[in-house]
Structure 1
Amino acid sequence: MAPSSPPLPQFEEAKSTTSTVLWQLYHHRPRSPRAIALSVLTFFVLLYMLNTSSSQSEPNFWTKFPSQHPFPERPEDAQVALPQRNDITINDTLPHDLEKPNPQLHILLPAQRSSRGSCRTITSAMILGYPPPTLIGYGHEAHGTTDFEQMVGRMKRTLAYLEHSRTVKDRDIVLLVDSEDVFFQLPPQVLVTRFQNILRKNNKDLLRKYGVTTVNRPGPKTAPAVVQKYTQRVLFGASKKCHGAHATDPGCVSIPESSLPPDVYGWKTDIHPDGFLNRPRWLNPGTVIGQAADLRLIFKEALRIIEQRQKKNGDEEAFTQIYGRQEVVRELERRRTVSLFKEWGYKLLGISDATNISTINIRLETEHRYEYGIGVDFESELFFNQLLSADDVEWLKYSNVTKTSALQGSMGVPREHRLLLPTDVAALPNPFNYSLLALNQTTLPLWNKTLDKLPNPEDHTWNDIPLMTNAHSASVPVLAHVNGNTKLRNTWWEKMWFFPWARALLRRYVRASQGFDAAQSSLLGGADWWDMRGGRGGVWTDHESWVRFADVCQGQERDLFDDDLGPWGKENGDPDEPVYNEWGNLVYGKEPPQLPQPPQLNDINDHW
């Protein structure tokens, strides 16, 4: 019989360990009170050390890199539109206390010349009731300049307008969009309200994440003020693609994750090589909204970076860099004050909200501002960017429950994001309402049964018209930034809810600027008159001159309306044809030439 082989060393080691544990278990000796007290003390000391931040060894990044906003008023608190006053009728005299103390809304479009794209942007803004856009650089096209020089000129003129315009105040809300590829879908009250609601929600999260600090206030006996460290004040559009100078730019890797679910596009979310299934989280500079004072700071810093780099796409890279470095400084300050014990626990549970700064290599300058209050509209409540996202949207009539349910199932939209008409849209006035006074007005354009025909409002509510919907975020964006496939611009324009009645709706917009309601609303800063410069049926330029819509978009009628009704403003014939009011006074146009009258008999008798 063969001798048995010696046991394996691993088995002997396991056997020895098991025996030791069993012996200790059955021969347990209770610890002395001194050992127990020492263990408890050690545990609490360790807990205190883990719960203590590293603030003693790190500088205060909030003060090292100036982070307090020089303009303290927060945009979510601004009352851009005052409530409508119902105590005034058309037969009353406007009271002496009418004034416009609230901030205004400005729409800025960088456009050196008119084009099909810019005219579509202007037309959609007018139809939805926005104030007349201001064209930045209009009529100042510099021939023979490079793309870089044109971009720098556009940035300089935009900054100059924000800094020096007599009509733009610090508290005013400014919407700046690309002029060539933006279609408005919802009116300005939805834009402003959603902007402010997003800020309120996100600022609550930032307060929880970064906390507060104290700042000294002027005055010898004034107590320091407690302020929130970091707030969101400006919103850019969100993109599925990073526009940074390189893949490791902080603007590409150190920014917050999207607020959309991590599996919103299925199991390939954020890992599909072509980027179509990425959650939008990177900054796109083609659409931005914020207070004028905040946008000045951002554009001034962006222009400084652009002039340093001298690159063709320097504006996109500059805004991305600003956003990324802002988030890096915020993360440094968070790590300085965070509880190490909580951070360890959050990482263990997979719920840490730490920002990735491990792969970046940048130099931060002391006393330089990196905090600008920048955020991104992750869920396209304001701005939908088409780049890599054309398949994310569908034009829905929300009254068609069968189609909305089928779309939700085909796109895998979870039940918590049901496709329902947003409540703020459902609460809007009917988009086809018509004032009875318009039928009797003598202001241009005169009401015409054919040109001004609109559908029956009872059959065409917001619930019954096709609205562009981002199915994955269950949102109806305020505007569409068609910055991806240029071939889709014509198709998408014709899908917009207003397109079949675009001319009639535009005529209604221009006509609505006259009369009692417009006068009262302009003084009150009401929802239908957001810019005290007034004027409808045209645009302003950055040098404060007025240009009629017919002059800006002459020859673009087919691309705008496609109705074969002729040039804008000449649908009824000669635009200079005289128009008289009920008393026979000329209100528009030219009087016919006066023919010499023969002398009357009474005149002859008086002469003699």
Structure 2
Amino acid sequence: MRFNFGTCSSGHRPLPQYETCLNDLPSARRSKAGRLAKCIVGGTALLAAAGLAAHYLAPSLDSLGYKTGQGPPPDKVLTTHQLQALQPGNRSISVGGDRRLRIFMPADSPHINLCKSIMSAVALGYPAPILLNWGGEFNRPEWHLAGSHIAKLESLLSVIENMLSLAEGEDGDVHQDDLAVLVDAYDIWFQLPPSVLIQRYHQLNREADERVRQQWDDAQGFAADFPIQPPKQSILVTAAKDCHPRSDSGSDPHYSHWPESPMPSDMYGHGTDKVLTMPLDPARKFKKIRPRCVNSGMIMGTMGSLRDALIRAKAKVETVAHRGRQLWSDQALFGEVIGDQEMWREWVRQLGTTWNGTASENYLSRLPADVRSIAKAALKGERFEYGIGLDYSFGTIPPTCSAEEDGYFVQMNDKQALKRESAKAGVPNGEVRVNGVPAELDQAGVGSAHLSGIKWGDASLYTDFFFGVTPVGIHHNAYVDNLKATRLREWWSKMWFYPQLRNLVARALLPMDAGDTIRPLARIPAQEGGQVTKYWMPKSDLRNRMVKVFEPASLDAKSGGSFASIEWEGVCQRSGQKPWHEELFGDKKGPWQL
């Protein structure tokens, strides 16, 4: 995915509408003048060094810029060994080999909206979702008012730990580099197959790794080989325009330390990144903000990296329980984990600016108070880097809140419709930023065979006209004017698969025969001499495509849990409502039968 319109920007810039602007924050970027001065001073130093005796060439504390005897005291310096101890343990996801994809949905009771979310995934060839918190209880005292939200993350941790602990059995091939996707269960619809989601996950991570590497390089001092290598991203979370919660909510993600969006700085035209002061509805005031904050509608990552990040989140819950602080939601909780990570990165980049080949200055008193507390904890061994980043491009399953009119259904082959809908959405200068059918759909020999004949250019696909992207799914959280409820009810028939949904689901649910060819869900090319990565269905799905419920072990048990299949009636039919198949299929062919 590439965005060629407008101008791009990078680095860190606090947005005043979310946090008090901190003028003394260290910048991740250098001015041209600063770079020139760096070159001149560095060149002069090198010429002078050529005439020094060999023993003066050895790096020392004096080379940090102090006269002999006036260098920083030992407790203000971090040696190479101390810096190496801060190196994060996360690694690149480009490990190659065979991997699995699993979908998780937190859901406690049957509903037609849950049914739509599940059926959209099944019809497109995703693994049958695993339901978390089914019939759950959300009133633990330490969760305060955020029970169901906190349970969402704790139950994901529980099922991941359970799966990774399996040594044998039908899913004994679970690997820490398998992909896990957690999505909201009652307001998300998939519209593109898993091959697109997986390819975009890898592409977005590669782009994020390059941005972080560039920030590391920009902050580098005169000496090379700074001991702390740039982190690698392995967890992707959907991004939001509106930054919630604010610090006065009791939860504080420290948004002022988060990177600004890498999207073009003029993507919404005049007034980009300006909060509207008098919108017709207050919820629309973030319409022109480039997404840079967290929305937990989708969290996607490797099983191992998610386990580590969720353990950190759980520790925060326990800390809150002791302090009696209010937890806002799972979004706030995960936002705090990301905020801590960004402050850790800010501190480490600052260490890089004074690296001289053997040591770095570490004057904690010069850091902002919140960064200082992170640095102190990190020096005591606490981990803050988890390889988490945001989907700034809106290519996965972005929220529609504050983007209520930014997208609509359109056929990629209908150029006039693309132009008309782009203008209707308000894309600046009459631009059409949509470049046809998503390139990720070109990958052959992957995914469900029954989707091979789909003419995607003629399919009705929800598309964001500002980003110029057709997302993998739609997150219906646009609550302005009751749009969420209306769209969940009225937009279902607009989905491209709706006229043939019954047949698509039936074909997807057929068990595999011994002679059937099993196709990977996606194939990721080898990176830098590595091997190709192939993603597959879980083994259990090859024999049983039914939705499963994960039942965790008791609170007293440290691990364990069980899985049980659940019938469609159990997830789709709510008591007192009309038969689920009537709204889901709308084809008047009666009850569901396979």
- Normalized against structure 1, the TM-score is what? 0.66
Letter in 2 for 1:76: S
Report the CA distance between 1:151 and its aligned residue.
Answer: 3.7
Unpaired runs of at least 5, structure 1 = 1-39, 80-101, 214-223, 341-356, 436-455, 571-608
Aligned partner of 1:180 among 166, 180, 186: 186
Aligned partner of 2:416 among 382, 398, 402: 402
Distance 1:48 1:461, change over 3 A: farther
Distance 1:142 1:206, change over 3 A: closer
Larger Rg belongs to: 1
1:566 and 2:566 are equivalent in the alignment: no
- 1:61-460 to 2 correspondences below 5 Å: 67-70=86-89, 72=91, 74-79=92-97, 102-141=98-137, 147-165=145-163, 166=166, 167=171, 168-211=174-217, 228-246=229-247, 249=252, 251-273=254-276, 274-309=285-320, 310-338=325-353, 363-364=373-374, 365=377, 366-409=380-423, 411-412=426-427, 417-427=433-443, 434=450
Distance 2:47 2:263 in 1: 35
1:182, 1:479 within 8 Å by CA — same for their partners in 2? yes
Distance 1:379 1:569 in 2: 40
Letter in 1 for 2:213: L
Q: Who is 1:475 aligned against?
A: 469
Distance 2:188 2:506 in 1: 21
Q: Who is 2:25 aligned against?
A: none
Aligned partner of 1:541 among 546, 549, 572: 549
**Superposed CA offset, 1:42-69 (max 9, x none):** 99369999xx978986655995796544
Distance 1:261 1:154 in 2: 34
1:461 and 2:455 are equivalent in the alignment: yes
Report the CA distance between 1:174 and its aligned residue.
Answer: 0.5
Distance 2:337 2:48 in 1: 37
**Superposed CA offset, 1:284-325 (max 9, x none):** 122111101110111111122233335352422211111112
Letter in 2 for 1:315: D
Report the CA distance between 1:105 and its aligned residue.
Answer: 0.7
**SS where residue 539 of structure 2 aligns?**
coil
Letter in 2 for 1:290: G
**SS where residue 471 of structure 2 aligns?**
coil
1:108, 1:174 within 8 Å by CA — same for their partners in 2? yes
Distance 1:301 1:430, change over 3 A: closer
**Superposed CA offset, 1:370-409 (max 9, x none):** 1011100001111211111121112110111112133445
Letter in 2 for 1:284: N
Distance 1:77 1:71 in 2: 12
Distance 1:212 1:404, change over 3 A: closer
1:385, 1:481 within 8 Å by CA — same for their partners in 2? yes
Report the CA distance between 1:121 and its aligned residue.
Answer: 1.1
**Superposed CA offset, 1:74-132 (max 9, x none):** 223344xxxxxxxxxxxxxxxxxxxxxx1211111111222222211110000010011
2:99, 2:535 within 8 Å by CA — same for their partners in 1? no
Report the CA distance between 1:558 and its aligned residue.
Answer: 2.5
**SS where residue 545 of structure 1 aligns?**
strand
Report the CA distance between 1:144 and its aligned residue.
Answer: 10
Letter in 2 for 1:546: S
Distance 1:505 1:48 in 2: 74
Distance 1:499 1:305, change over 3 A: same
Further displaced range: 411-420 or 193-202: 411-420
Distance 1:418 1:286, change over 3 A: closer
1:61, 1:332 within 8 Å by CA — same for their partners in 2? no
Letter in 2 for 1:156: E
Distance 1:192 1:361, change over 3 A: closer
Further displaced range: 129-138 or 240-249: 240-249
2:86, 2:228 within 8 Å by CA — same for their partners in 1? no
Distance 1:44 1:404 in 2: 57
Distance 1:339 1:416 in 2: 46
Report the CA distance between 1:484 and its aligned residue.
Answer: 2.4
Distance 2:176 2:369 in 1: 38
1:127, 1:506 within 8 Å by CA — same for their partners in 2? yes
**Superposed CA offset, 1:424-478 (max 9, x none):** 125568999759xxxxxxxxxxxxxxxxxxxx95xx6100011111111111111
Further displaced range: 537-546 or 224-233: 224-233
Report the CA distance between 1:519 and its aligned residue.
Answer: 5.7
Distance 1:71 1:329, change over 3 A: closer
**Superposed CA offset, 1:495-531 (max 9, x none):** 2211122112111211364462256879x99979511
**SS where residue 272 of structure 1 aligns?**
coil
Q: Who is 2:281 aligned against?
A: none
Report the CA distance between 1:269 and its aligned residue.
Answer: 1.2
**RMSD of aligned residue pairs (Cα, Å):** 4.0
Q: How many residue pairs get matched?
A: 457
Report the CA distance between 1:267 and its aligned residue.
Answer: 1.4
Distance 1:432 1:189 in 2: 10
Distance 1:432 1:250 in 2: 40
Q: Who is 1:531 aligned against?
A: 538
1:191, 1:478 within 8 Å by CA — same for their partners in 2? yes
Distance 2:42 2:383 in 1: 43
1:557 and 2:581 are equivalent in the alignment: yes
Distance 1:563 1:47, change over 3 A: farther
Distance 1:285 1:54 in 2: 45
2:139, 2:147 within 8 Å by CA — same for their partners in 1? no
Distance 1:208 1:539, change over 3 A: same
Letter in 2 for 1:553: C
2:120, 2:191 within 8 Å by CA — same for their partners in 1? yes
Report the CA distance between 1:140 and its aligned residue.
Answer: 4.0
Letter in 2 for 1:556: W
Report the CA distance between 1:360 and its aligned residue.
Answer: 5.5
1:67, 1:371 within 8 Å by CA — same for their partners in 2? no
